Amino acid sequence: MGETLSKQQVLAAVPQQAPFRFIDEIVELDAEHIVARYTFPPDSDFYRGHFPGNPITPGVILVETAAQAAVVAFGIYLYALETSREELEKILTIFTDCAVDFSGTVLPGARVTTTGRVKFFRRKKLRASFEMKLDDGTLVCSGELSGMGVPR
Domains of the chain: 7-151 (3.10.129.10)
pLDDT in tens, 8-26: 999 999 999 999 999 999 9
pTM for the complete prediction?
A: 0.95
Q: What is the mean pLDDT of residues 128-147?
A: 98
**How far apart, in Å, are the Cα atoms of 10 and each of 35, 49, 138?**
12, 33, 27
Q: What is the pLDDT of residue 13?
A: 94
Strand order in the sheet with 25-29: 25-29, 33-39, 111-122, 125-134, 139-151, 91-102
pLDDT in tens, 45-77: 999 999 999 999 999 999 999 999 999 999 999
Is 50 tagged catalytic? Answer: yes
The 10 Å CB-count burial string (b at 16+, else e) for 2-36 is eeebebebbbebbeeeeeebbbeebeebeeebbbb
Question: Which residue among 50, 64, 96, 144 is the active-site one?
Answer: 50
What residues does 34 pair with on adjacent strands? 29, 116
1: pLDDT strictly greater than 80: no
More confident residue, 22 or 2: 22
- For residues 26 and 67, give the distance between their C-alpha atoms in angstroms, rounded to a whole number: 13
DSSP β-ladder status, 111-122 and 25-29:
unpaired
Give percent of the chain with pLDDT exceeding 90.
90
